[in-house]
């Protein structure tokens, strides 16, 4: 097909799709309570790529000082939280992951098929002074495309206080709740391989992620796992975690945008929900890369709510090395995720949109060169695994 004819067809298809599904602004206008169909995703991507948002992100943002350094979207993918609603970006990302189930690994995982389910940058074991013990990272083979995410989840729930707690519990199954489970990939790993007798309730505010969790992970052969939508998220507007008081052994939060700027009102709501559902002596297992000063704030706020810090590993170096090790896989993944959208082939608009899509995914993935990666290198952000005991 000649270029002009192709362009004509693309514009026509795009125009029809946009007319049928007027595209919301991907950066803020998508609903997390809706799982977008492949046709809707095409329409959204087409509208997004042809919209002025692309120019705003690429051309009109001066080099401004943002938290943790001087960053610019075009170069390092920096996009400050007030620029967009995270829920909206997640809605499109989860729909893209679901609509592209047949990805292929690269680098050490070259040729290995997988579906993008771990929305986790993850960690890897590193040796050296000040590093957590090597055995604190539960290692997976380097041929596994999502090994760093697996390592983050498995290590988080096998911290020494968690293993001691489990031992004391004996044959009684662990009751676990996760807040911000995404597609439930970590929950699936834990219920199948790490704590296989556990009863695990995986919660998220994204309908598409919960649908993937139900379809792929909470299947008949994995009866310990339940995935459940909490519309608009736990803690938001007083939303509760759907569990009774004092009924849970572990609450897990792994790489969820809770406390990524400060311990504010939402975080305090979430923490008091965690405290409400945890049994006396139960553990809040929290893993994330957030500003070092926010971890320091948590050291004050969580004890004030009745938690006691019983383990703390600083995995920042291992998280940086994980991103370096994962470079080729993530590069290939971004191309594969963006490939199914014909609008990416439209001259001028396509390449610019590809760049924005790639920068957005890269930033969410703390890919080398992005602002979020650099913040881990400088120590502005710290990747911690902590265990907090509920002293009731």
Ligand X SMILES: C[S@@+](CC[C@H](N)C(=O)[O-])C[C@H]1O[C@@H](n2cnc3c(N)ncnc32)[C@H](O)[C@@H]1O
Helices assigned H by DSSP within 35-144: 38-50, 52-58, 73-76, 86-99
Question: Applying CB under 6 A, which of residues 30, 230, 274, 333 lies at the interface with ligand X?
Answer: 230
Question: Applying CB under 6 A, which of residues 132, 235, 291, 318 lies at the interface with ligand X?
Answer: 235
CB closer to ligand X out of 186 and 224: 186
Question: Applying CB under 6 A, which of residues 27, 179, 189, 333 lies at the interface with ligand X?
Answer: 179
* Residue 84 sits in the site that holds ligand X (CB under 6 A): no
CB closer to ligand X out of 68 and 180: 180
* Residue 203 sits in the site that holds ligand X (CB under 6 A): yes
What is the C-alpha separation between 298 and 284, in angstroms, rounded?
A: 13
* Residue 180 sits in the site that holds ligand X (CB under 6 A): yes
String of contacts with ligand X for each residue 247-266, x by CB under 6 A: -------xxxxx--------
Neighbours of 377 (CB within 10 A): 14
What is the C-alpha separation between 50 and 209, in angstroms, rounded?
A: 27
Q: Give how many residues touch ligand X by CB under 6 A.
A: 25
Backbone angles phi, psi at 87, to 5 degrees: -60, -35
Min dist CB 315 to ligand X, Å, is 14
With 0-12 / 13-18 / 19 or more C-beta atoms within 10 angstroms meaning exposed / middle / buried, residue 225 is buried
What is the C-alpha separation between 253 and 152, in angstroms, rounded?
A: 11
Q: Which residue is nearest to ligand X (CB)?
A: 182
The answer for 315, left when phi > 0, alpha when psi is -120 to 50, beta otherwise, is alpha
* Residue 145 sits in the site that holds ligand X (CB under 6 A): no
String of contacts with ligand X for each residue 26-55, x by CB under 6 A: ------------------------------
Question: Applying CB under 6 A, which of residues 182, 282, 350, 357 lies at the interface with ligand X?
Answer: 182
Q: In what order do the strands lie in the sheet with 278-291?
A: 225-229, 199-204, 175-179, 248-254, 278-291, 381-390, 307-314
Residues shown for the chain: 392
What is the C-alpha separation between 84 and 93, in angstroms, rounded?
A: 14
CB closer to ligand X out of 116 and 349: 116
* Residue 206 sits in the site that holds ligand X (CB under 6 A): yes
* Residue 77 sits in the site that holds ligand X (CB under 6 A): no
Encoding tokens for residue 335? 């191309």
CB closer to ligand X out of 54 and 305: 305
The answer for 37, left when phi > 0, alpha when psi is -120 to 50, beta otherwise, is beta
* Residue 204 sits in the site that holds ligand X (CB under 6 A): yes
* Residue 322 sits in the site that holds ligand X (CB under 6 A): no
Min dist CB 62 to ligand X, Å, is 28
* Residue 209 sits in the site that holds ligand X (CB under 6 A): yes
Question: Applying CB under 6 A, which of residues 119, 151, 158, 292 lies at the interface with ligand X?
Answer: 119
Stretch of 11-19, 137-145, 233-241, 383-391 lying at the interface with ligand X (CB under 6 A): 233-241
What is the C-alpha separation between 255 and 275, in angstroms, rounded?
A: 19
Q: Are 212 and 98 in contact (CB under 8 A)?
A: yes
Report CA-CA distances (Å) from 29 to 44, 166, 333: 11, 43, 25
Question: Applying CB under 6 A, which of residues 118, 250, 307, 341 lies at the interface with ligand X?
Answer: 118
Q: What is the DSSP letter of 386?
A: E
Question: Applying CB under 6 A, which of residues 42, 100, 109, 120 lies at the interface with ligand X?
Answer: 120
* Residue 277 sits in the site that holds ligand X (CB under 6 A): no
CB closer to ligand X out of 24 and 281: 24
> In the complex, which residues of this chain contact ligand X (CB under 6 A)?
90, 118-120, 179-182, 185-186, 203-206, 209, 230, 233-236, 254-258
């Amino acid at each position: 097909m000649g270029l002009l004819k192709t362009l004509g067809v693309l514009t026509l298809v795009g125009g029809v799709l946009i007319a049928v599904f007027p595209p919301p602004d991907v950066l803020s206008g998508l609903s997390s309570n809706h799982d977008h169909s492949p046709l809707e995703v095409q329409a959204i991507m087409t509208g997004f790529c042809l919209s002025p948002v692309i120019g705003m992100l690429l051309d009109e943002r001066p080099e401004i000082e943002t938290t943790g350094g001087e960053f610019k979207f075009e170069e390092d993918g920096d996009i400050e939280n007030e620029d967009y609603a995270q829920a909206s970006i997640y809605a499109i990302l989860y729909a893209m992951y679901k609509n592209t189930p047949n990805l292929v690994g690269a680098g050490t995982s070259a040729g290995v098929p997988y579906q993008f389910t771990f929305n986790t940058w993850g960690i890897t074991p590193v040796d050296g002074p000040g590093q957590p013990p090597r055995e604190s990272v539960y290692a997976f083979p380097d041929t596994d495309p999502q090994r760093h995410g697996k390592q983050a989840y498995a290590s988080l729930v096998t911290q020494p206080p968690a293993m001691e707690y489990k031992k004391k519990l004996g044959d009684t199954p662990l009751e676990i709740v996760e807040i911000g489970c995404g597609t439930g990939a970590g929950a699936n790993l834990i219920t199948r391989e790490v704590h296989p007798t556990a009863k695990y309730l995986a919660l998220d505010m994204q309908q598409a992620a919960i649908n993937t969790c139900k379809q792929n992970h909470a299947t008949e052969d994995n009866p310990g796992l339940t995935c459940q939508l909490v519309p608009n998220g736990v803690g938001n507007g007083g939303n509760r975690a759907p569990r009774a008081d004092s009924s849970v052994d572990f609450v897990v939060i792994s790489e969820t945008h809770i406390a990524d700027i400060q311990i504010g009102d939402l975080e305090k709501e979430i923490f008091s929900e965690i405290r409400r559902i945890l049994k006396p002596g139960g553990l809040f297992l929290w893993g994330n890369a957030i500003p070092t000063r926010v971890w320091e704030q948590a050291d004050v706020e969580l004890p004030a709510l009745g938690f006691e810090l019983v383990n703390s590993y600083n995995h920042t170096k291992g998280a940086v090395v994980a991103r370096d090790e994962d470079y080729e896989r993530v590069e290939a993944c971004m191309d594969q995720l963006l490939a199914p959208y014909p609008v990416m082939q439209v001259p001028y608009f396509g390449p610019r949109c590809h760049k924005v899509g790639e920068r957005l995914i890269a930033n969410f993935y703390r890919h080398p060169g992005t602002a979020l990666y650099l913040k881990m290198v400088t120590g502005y952000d710290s990747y911690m695994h902590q265990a907090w005991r509920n002293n009731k």
